[in-house]
Amino acid sequence: MTIPKNIFTELKSRGMVHDVIEGLPEILAGQSVTLYNGFDPTADSLHVGHMVPMLALARWQRCGHHVIALAGGGTGMIGDPSGKSDERNLLGPDEIHHNVEMIQKQLAHFLDFDVKTNPARIMNNADWLNQLNLIDFLRSIGKHFTVNAMLAKDAVKSRIDRESGISFTEFSYSLLQSYDFYHLYRNYGCTVQAGGSDQWGNITAGVELIRRKLGQTAYGIVYPLIKKKDGTKFGKTAGGAVWLDPKRTSPYKFYQFWLNADDSDVIDFIRFYTFFTPEKIAELEDKTANRPEERAAQRALAEEMTYLMHGQEALDKARQATSALFGGDIDGLSADDIQDIFADVPSKTIRPSDLTGAPVDLAAFLSETSGFLKSKGEARRAIAEGGIYLNNHRADNAAAVVTRSDFIEGAFLVLRRGKKNYFLVRLSEE
């Protein structure tokens, strides 16, 4: 696919420019720049909210710019107060190091580190922040920051008004992020810092530090923080954050998150998160407006995001898992897949001993063993009517014996009556 060379035009057309320092659009129209975006390792995985700046870095790179993904191994020891109402829990060095390693792997899904012309780079600000001497830092950097200006920043003001206040530790965060920009400008020619709109104060502080220390001009650009049309925070579900790590959020649940996007949100999400062409976006917007029942935009979004993050095999499995909820093939799905797919349906756990001894026929299993149906009589009638399914295969013999071999990986048996009435039977290890 073709990405426009003018990155600012591309970002603007997608509604991704919340604010920009004057002069940057003109520069971007005529030359390549080096820019960075920081990611603090407060957890061992990023979440879908981080994908806007991650994918934005990929857009910059595809337009010919030189990008740096900065892992905050140093600043992560402090914690950014931006957007936070309370003090962060301070993480230890080993935990920070582990988180940085995991985040670096996730960034590699989106950025090209092997291209010859403008390979992306991953850096860790611990490499220079951990070398700083406090007295030297206060004399050479701290003197360029006034307390008045720092108190005026939204991230600080909002905390001062609270009973818990803000610690000097978090208060000093802006100085460290500014130093990052100064360090990257001086050593790598990095003239632009990008981030979410909550980083505007930190970015402009870095721009000012470069001006004061080096007499040079630097720039910043920030993207809007993504929210749903109803005002609720994006990237959260009833189960918490939607993580990029498949061990935290399975590819199936990741796929479902995008698939369940509201009609009022989905086109914005497509603009922010995909590389679809304007023509493709217009087509999906038309389908959403005129044939919303098809959910074409949601499917396109879910497939694109799952592929980008988890690859083709995971996408295929997520499609199959989604189909399973509508009577599709379950064969080949793992016990973990089954647990994910049917996490919200009624269920019962039985013991292996419930299937040993006297044979348990299907009618008895559906009623007495599992409790799915009220009686053996009801079970026999449902079977005779062709409405009972085991692992989405129709069951037509009420006298058939149910054994442990019927359970997927010896752990789960999916029962269904009709099209959508599901019940999950778990087999305990005992």
Domains of the chain in start order, with CATH, are: 7-223 (3.40.50.620), 236-324 (1.10.240.10), 347-427 (3.10.290.10)
Residue 236 among the catalytic residues:
yes
The position carrying tokens 């993207």 is: 223
> In this predicted structure, what is the pLDDT of residue 344?
84
Q: What is the pLDDT, as a whole number, of residue 252? A: 92
Give CA–CA dist 21/132, Å, rounded: 29
Given the residues 84, 97, 144, 299, the one annotated as active site: 84
User: What pLDDT sits at residue 85?
Assistant: 45
Beta carbons of 24 and 17 less than 8 angstroms apart: no
**Beta bridge pairs of residue 394:** 389
Has 198 been annotated as catalytic?
yes
Q: Is 61 a catalytic residue?
A: no
Active site residue 213: no
What pLDDT, in 10s, does the model give residues 307-337?
999 999 999 999 998 888 888 888 888 998 9
What's the pLDDT score for residue 313? 94
Give me the catalytic one of 18, 88, 98, 393: 88
- 430 confidence band (pLDDT: 50, 70, 90): low
Q: In the predicted model, what is the mean pLDDT of the chain?
A: 89
| Residue of 105, 162, 211, 233 marked active site | 233
User: Which residue in 50, 183, 380, 417 is the catalytic one?
Assistant: 50
Q: Which of 236, 280, 376, 381 is catalytic?
A: 236
Q: Annotated catalytic residue: which of 9, 42, 104, 322?
A: 42
Catalytic residue among 198, 212, 287, 393: 198
Model pLDDT, residue 79: 65
User: Catalytic annotation on 66?
Assistant: no
Residue 80 is predicted with a pLDDT of 60
CB 218 within 8 A of CB 193: yes
- Phi then psi for 351, rounded to 5 degrees? -100, 150
pLDDT in tens, 211-259: 999 999 999 999 998 887 777 777 766 667 899 999 999 999 999 999 9
Say which residue, 198 or 160, is predicted with more confidence. 198
Which residues lie closer than 8 Å to 230 by C-beta, 6 or more apart? Answer: 262
Lookup result for tokens 């073709």: 2
Q: Does the pLDDT value for residue 2 go beyond 50?
A: no
Average pLDDT in the 147-174 region? 76
Q: Say if residue 180's pLDDT is above 90.
A: yes
pLDDT band at 56 (very low <50, low <70, confident <90, very high): very high
54 vs 1, which has greater pLDDT?
54
The answer to whether 341 and 252 have CB atoms below 8 angstroms apart is yes
Is 18 noted as a catalytic residue in this protein?
Answer: no
- For residue 222, report the phi and psi dihedrals to the nearest 5 degrees: -130, 145
- Give CA angle at 80 (258, 222), nearest 5°: 55
Identity at 84, one-letter amino acid code: K
CA distances from 327 to 31, 161, 415, 422, 424 (A): 54, 55, 11, 10, 14
Q: What is the DSSP string of 179-235?
A: HHHHHHHHHH---EEEEEGGGHHHHHHHHHHHHHHHS---EEEEEPPPB-TTSPBTT
pLDDT for the residue numbered 87: 52
Six token digits for residue 262: 């509201």
pTM summary value: 0.82
Least confident of 88-97, 145-154, 196-205, 372-381: 88-97
* 106 classed as catalytic: no
- Which pLDDT band holds residue 169 (cuts at 50, 70, 90)? confident
Pairing relationship of beta strands 219-223 and 19-20 according to DSSP bridges: antiparallel
pLDDT tens-digit map of 66-115: 999 999 888 887 766 655 444 556 677 888 888 888 888 888 888 998 88
Quickly count: other Cβ atoms within 10 Å of residue 217's Cβ.
13
Spot the catalytic one: 14, 47, 153, 317: 47
The CA–CA distances, whole Å, from 219 to 25, 34, 143 equal 10, 11, 22
**Which residue out of 34, 61, 75, 177 is catalytically annotated?**
177
* 103 contacts 41 by C-beta, under 8 angstroms: yes
